[in-house]
Structure 1
Amino acid sequence: MDLQDQLKNLFPDHTPSKENIEEVNQPNYWLQDSPILCKYEKRKGKPVTILDGYTGADADFKKLTKDLKSLLSVGGSYKNDIIIIQGDYRDKIMAFLKENGFTVKRVGG
Protein backbone atom coordinates (compact mmCIF):
# COMPACT_ATOMS: atom_id res chain seq x y z
CA MET A 1 0.00 0.00 0.00
CA ASP A 2 1.65 3.23 -1.14
CA LEU A 3 1.21 6.73 0.23
CA GLN A 4 -1.57 7.70 -2.19
CA ASP A 5 -3.69 4.71 -1.12
CA GLN A 6 -3.14 5.52 2.55
CA LEU A 7 -4.20 9.12 2.00
CA LYS A 8 -7.34 7.97 0.14
CA ASN A 9 -8.22 5.73 3.11
CA LEU A 10 -7.73 8.57 5.59
CA PHE A 11 -9.48 11.25 3.50
CA PRO A 12 -12.00 9.55 1.17
CA ASP A 13 -13.80 12.79 0.20
CA HIS A 14 -10.65 14.74 -0.75
CA THR A 15 -9.74 15.20 -4.40
CA PRO A 16 -6.25 16.60 -5.06
CA SER A 17 -6.16 19.69 -7.25
CA LYS A 18 -3.75 19.88 -10.16
CA GLU A 19 -2.86 23.52 -9.47
CA ASN A 20 -1.01 22.71 -6.25
CA ILE A 21 0.97 19.91 -7.89
CA GLU A 22 2.15 22.13 -10.76
CA GLU A 23 3.34 24.86 -8.39
CA VAL A 24 5.49 22.40 -6.45
CA ASN A 25 7.20 21.06 -9.59
CA GLN A 26 8.19 24.45 -11.02
CA PRO A 27 10.32 26.60 -8.70
CA ASN A 28 9.81 30.25 -9.44
CA TYR A 29 12.73 32.59 -9.02
CA TRP A 30 12.90 36.28 -9.65
CA LEU A 31 14.50 36.64 -13.08
CA GLN A 32 16.60 39.63 -13.99
CA ASP A 33 17.78 41.18 -17.25
CA SER A 34 21.49 41.35 -16.45
CA PRO A 35 23.45 38.06 -16.46
CA ILE A 36 24.65 36.25 -13.35
CA LEU A 37 28.43 35.96 -13.24
CA CYS A 38 29.69 32.44 -12.52
CA LYS A 39 33.35 32.32 -11.48
CA TYR A 40 35.79 29.91 -9.89
CA GLU A 41 38.20 30.77 -7.07
CA LYS A 42 40.36 29.03 -4.54
CA ARG A 43 39.84 30.12 -0.97
CA LYS A 44 42.22 28.74 1.64
CA GLY A 45 43.36 26.15 -0.92
CA LYS A 46 39.84 24.82 -1.56
CA PRO A 47 37.90 25.36 -4.80
CA VAL A 48 34.66 27.35 -4.67
CA THR A 49 32.18 28.49 -7.30
CA ILE A 50 30.90 32.04 -6.85
CA LEU A 51 27.68 33.43 -8.32
CA ASP A 52 27.70 37.21 -8.40
CA GLY A 53 25.32 39.78 -9.84
CA TYR A 54 21.95 38.35 -8.73
CA THR A 55 19.74 41.17 -7.47
CA GLY A 56 16.83 39.26 -5.95
CA ALA A 57 15.46 39.53 -2.43
CA ASP A 58 16.87 37.58 0.52
CA ALA A 59 14.14 34.95 0.15
CA ASP A 60 15.12 34.46 -3.51
CA PHE A 61 18.80 34.10 -2.55
CA LYS A 62 17.91 31.57 0.11
CA LYS A 63 15.70 29.51 -2.22
CA LEU A 64 18.19 29.54 -5.10
CA THR A 65 21.09 28.62 -2.80
CA LYS A 66 19.13 25.79 -1.23
CA ASP A 67 18.13 24.37 -4.63
CA LEU A 68 21.70 24.54 -5.94
CA LYS A 69 23.11 22.87 -2.82
CA SER A 70 20.55 20.07 -2.95
CA LEU A 71 21.08 19.58 -6.71
CA LEU A 72 24.84 19.23 -6.30
CA SER A 73 24.82 17.65 -2.81
CA VAL A 74 27.45 20.09 -1.55
CA GLY A 75 27.70 22.86 1.00
CA GLY A 76 27.48 26.55 0.38
CA SER A 77 26.09 29.85 1.59
CA TYR A 78 24.99 33.28 0.54
CA LYS A 79 26.01 36.62 2.00
CA ASN A 80 26.63 40.14 0.73
CA ASP A 81 24.63 39.38 -2.45
CA ILE A 82 27.00 36.55 -3.43
CA ILE A 83 26.22 32.81 -3.55
CA ILE A 84 29.19 30.59 -2.66
CA ILE A 85 29.09 26.86 -3.54
CA GLN A 86 31.85 24.52 -2.34
CA GLY A 87 33.69 22.90 -5.24
CA ASP A 88 34.09 23.58 -8.96
CA TYR A 89 30.59 23.02 -10.38
CA ARG A 90 30.43 25.84 -12.93
CA ASP A 91 29.09 23.70 -15.77
CA LYS A 92 26.30 22.08 -13.74
CA ILE A 93 25.31 25.38 -12.11
CA MET A 94 25.23 27.19 -15.44
CA ALA A 95 23.06 24.44 -16.96
CA PHE A 96 20.65 24.59 -13.98
CA LEU A 97 20.37 28.38 -14.18
CA LYS A 98 19.77 28.32 -17.94
CA GLU A 99 17.00 25.72 -17.50
CA ASN A 100 15.29 28.06 -15.05
CA GLY A 101 15.44 31.05 -17.40
CA PHE A 102 18.50 32.94 -16.14
CA THR A 103 21.20 34.38 -18.37
CA VAL A 104 24.64 33.31 -17.16
CA LYS A 105 28.09 34.56 -18.05
CA ARG A 106 31.19 32.48 -17.29
CA VAL A 107 34.06 34.53 -15.91
CA GLY A 108 37.64 33.25 -15.98
CA GLY A 109 39.10 30.07 -17.47
Structure 2
Amino acid sequence: MDLQDQLKNLFPDHQPEPEESPKEGADIWLQQEPIICKYEKRKGKPVTILEGYNGADEDFKRLASLIKKNLSVGGSFKKEIVIIQGDYRDKIMAMLKDLGFNVKRVGG
Protein backbone atom coordinates (compact mmCIF):
# COMPACT_ATOMS: atom_id res chain seq x y z
CA MET A 1 0.00 0.00 0.00
CA ASP A 2 1.57 3.29 -1.06
CA LEU A 3 1.17 6.76 0.42
CA GLN A 4 -1.68 7.77 -1.89
CA ASP A 5 -3.76 4.76 -0.83
CA GLN A 6 -3.11 5.47 2.85
CA LEU A 7 -4.21 9.08 2.41
CA LYS A 8 -7.39 7.97 0.63
CA ASN A 9 -8.17 5.68 3.58
CA LEU A 10 -7.63 8.48 6.09
CA PHE A 11 -9.50 11.17 4.11
CA PRO A 12 -12.11 9.50 1.87
CA ASP A 13 -13.97 12.76 1.10
CA HIS A 14 -10.91 14.71 -0.04
CA GLN A 15 -10.73 15.64 -3.72
CA PRO A 16 -7.18 16.65 -4.79
CA GLU A 17 -6.92 19.88 -6.76
CA PRO A 18 -5.36 19.63 -10.19
CA GLU A 19 -1.91 21.14 -10.22
CA GLU A 20 -1.25 23.88 -12.74
CA SER A 21 2.33 24.57 -13.68
CA PRO A 22 2.61 28.19 -14.78
CA LYS A 23 4.99 29.02 -17.59
CA GLU A 24 8.31 30.35 -16.32
CA GLY A 25 8.49 34.11 -16.60
CA ALA A 26 4.75 34.41 -17.18
CA ASP A 27 4.36 37.00 -14.43
CA ILE A 28 7.12 39.33 -15.66
CA TRP A 29 5.95 42.72 -16.91
CA LEU A 30 6.39 43.14 -20.67
CA GLN A 31 7.25 46.44 -22.31
CA GLN A 32 6.93 47.97 -25.76
CA GLU A 33 10.47 49.33 -26.10
CA PRO A 34 13.12 46.75 -26.97
CA ILE A 35 15.62 45.47 -24.45
CA ILE A 36 19.16 46.23 -25.62
CA CYS A 37 21.39 43.13 -25.80
CA LYS A 38 25.07 43.92 -26.35
CA TYR A 39 28.46 42.28 -26.07
CA GLU A 40 31.49 43.73 -24.29
CA LYS A 41 34.80 42.60 -22.94
CA ARG A 42 35.50 43.50 -19.35
CA LYS A 43 38.97 42.74 -17.99
CA GLY A 44 39.55 40.55 -21.05
CA LYS A 45 36.48 38.39 -20.41
CA PRO A 46 33.40 38.36 -22.67
CA VAL A 47 30.11 39.50 -21.11
CA THR A 48 26.58 39.95 -22.45
CA ILE A 49 24.79 43.05 -21.19
CA LEU A 50 21.01 43.60 -21.09
CA GLU A 51 19.68 47.09 -20.49
CA GLY A 52 16.66 49.21 -21.25
CA TYR A 53 14.05 47.40 -19.14
CA ASN A 54 11.75 49.97 -17.56
CA GLY A 55 9.64 47.69 -15.37
CA ALA A 56 10.04 47.02 -11.67
CA ASP A 57 13.46 46.08 -10.33
CA GLU A 58 12.08 42.85 -8.86
CA ASP A 59 10.83 41.76 -12.31
CA PHE A 60 14.21 42.54 -13.84
CA LYS A 61 15.99 40.57 -11.11
CA ARG A 62 13.62 37.65 -11.67
CA LEU A 63 14.31 37.84 -15.41
CA ALA A 64 18.07 37.86 -14.74
CA SER A 65 17.86 34.81 -12.49
CA LEU A 66 15.71 33.01 -15.09
CA ILE A 67 18.32 33.66 -17.79
CA LYS A 68 21.20 32.61 -15.54
CA LYS A 69 19.41 29.43 -14.51
CA ASN A 70 18.45 28.41 -18.05
CA LEU A 71 21.95 29.03 -19.44
CA SER A 72 23.77 27.71 -16.34
CA VAL A 73 26.06 30.73 -16.23
CA GLY A 74 26.96 33.38 -13.73
CA GLY A 75 25.99 37.00 -13.82
CA SER A 76 24.78 39.93 -11.80
CA PHE A 77 22.21 42.71 -11.66
CA LYS A 78 23.56 46.21 -11.10
CA LYS A 79 21.93 49.60 -11.67
CA GLU A 80 19.17 48.31 -13.97
CA ILE A 81 21.69 46.36 -16.08
CA VAL A 82 21.99 42.58 -16.24
CA ILE A 83 25.52 41.30 -16.82
CA ILE A 84 25.80 37.67 -17.99
CA GLN A 85 29.21 36.01 -18.12
CA GLY A 86 30.06 34.91 -21.67
CA ASP A 87 28.78 35.71 -25.15
CA TYR A 88 25.21 34.36 -25.13
CA ARG A 89 23.47 37.05 -27.18
CA ASP A 90 21.72 34.68 -29.58
CA LYS A 91 20.44 32.34 -26.86
CA ILE A 92 19.33 35.21 -24.62
CA MET A 93 17.57 36.98 -27.48
CA ALA A 94 15.72 33.78 -28.44
CA MET A 95 14.74 33.22 -24.80
CA LEU A 96 13.44 36.77 -24.40
CA LYS A 97 11.49 36.58 -27.66
CA ASP A 98 9.84 33.38 -26.44
CA LEU A 99 8.79 35.25 -23.28
CA GLY A 100 7.26 38.01 -25.43
CA PHE A 101 9.89 40.75 -25.21
CA ASN A 102 11.15 42.95 -28.02
CA VAL A 103 14.93 42.61 -28.21
CA LYS A 104 17.44 44.71 -30.12
CA ARG A 105 20.97 43.47 -30.79
CA VAL A 106 23.67 46.11 -30.54
CA GLY A 107 27.20 45.62 -31.85
CA GLY A 108 28.79 42.92 -34.04
Q: TM-score normalised by the shorter chain: which range applies? A: 0.7 to 0.9
Aligned residue runs from structure 1 range 18-29, under 5 A: 18=19, 21-23=20-22, 25-28=23-26, 29=28
- SS of corresponding position for 2:59: helix
Distance 1:56 1:11, change over 3 A: farther
1:16 maps onto 2:13 in alignment: no
Partner of 1:32: 31
| 2:25–2:63 contact (8 Å) kept in structure 1 | no
Amino acid at match of 1:27: G
Q: Matches of 1:66 and 1:16 in 2, distance apart?
A: 29
Distance 1:9 1:79, change over 3 A: farther
- Long gaps (5+) in structure 2: 9-13
Q: Matches of 1:81 and 1:99 in 2, distance apart?
A: 22
Aligned residue runs from structure 1 range 84-99, under 5 A: 84-99=83-98
Deviation for aligned residue 1:9: 4.6
Partner of 2:106: 107
More helix by share: 1
Partner of 1:75: 74
Which 4+ stretches in 1 moved above 4 angstroms? Answer: none
Deviation for aligned residue 1:59: 1.2
Distance 1:44 1:31, change over 3 A: same
Normalising by structure 2, report the TM-score.
0.84
